[in-house]
Amino acid sequence: MFIIDPHKEYPKETESRVVIRFQDCDPLRHLNNAKYFDYFFNAREDQVPKLYGVEILDFIKSFEAVWVVYNHHIAYLKPANLGEWVRIMTRVVFFNENTIVVEYCMTDEYKTHLKALLWTTLKYVGMDTSRTVSHPEPVLNYLNAVKYPGVDYHPHNFDNRVNDVKNHFRGMV
């Protein structure tokens, strides 16, 4: 189980560099819209164990609960093209007693253009009841340690967040 070291600063963002694969593209050689989800979720699943030393199965086994998708907000801004290398950044931008929101960003390799932004809202659900349950204290400690600062999360502010992130990467040019 993941135990928070109070003397350690944990990364607040994961990052992966991936290439857009042929089998994931449409006839125009753009990444298929549904495949963005695969790229985002795989990037986070690959990076979390490396950065935090914990697998999702550790949480499930320890607390007999799992996060399940409640909804998505996604903006497709620029196509990801066949053979292109992209960067995927992920971060927890909000949590409360039974919910987390993970933000996923895809940019070009040089982080100068935002290609897509996704907010995934997940509910914490008990394995035995399939009902929403509260995060136990060790999970809240983990979420506190990895939460990305400075995002004024509200579900109705997605478009504002897209513009903020887009301007952030535009400013890095």
What pLDDT, on a 0 to 100 scale, did the predictor assign at position 146? 95
Q: Which of 80, 96, 82, 93 lies closest to 165 in space, CA to CA? A: 93
* pLDDT for residue 83 is more than 90: yes
Digit-coded pLDDT (tens) for 93-106: 999 999 999 999 99
β partners of residue 124 = 67
What pLDDT, on a 0 to 100 scale, did the predictor assign at position 59? 85
Domain boundaries, the chain: 14-165
Architecture of domain 14-165 in CATH?
A: Roll (3.10)
What pLDDT, on a 0 to 100 scale, did the predictor assign at position 119? 98
* pLDDT for residue 173 is more than 60: no
The percent of residues above 90 in pLDDT, for the chain, comes to: 86
What pLDDT, on a 0 to 100 scale, did the predictor assign at position 1? 59
Backbone φ and ψ of 63, nearest 5°:
-120, 0
β partners of residue 90 = 14, 104
What pLDDT, on a 0 to 100 scale, did the predictor assign at position 170? 83
β partners of residue 147 = 92
**Mean pLDDT (whole number) for 35-46:** 97
* pLDDT for residue 159 is more than 60: yes
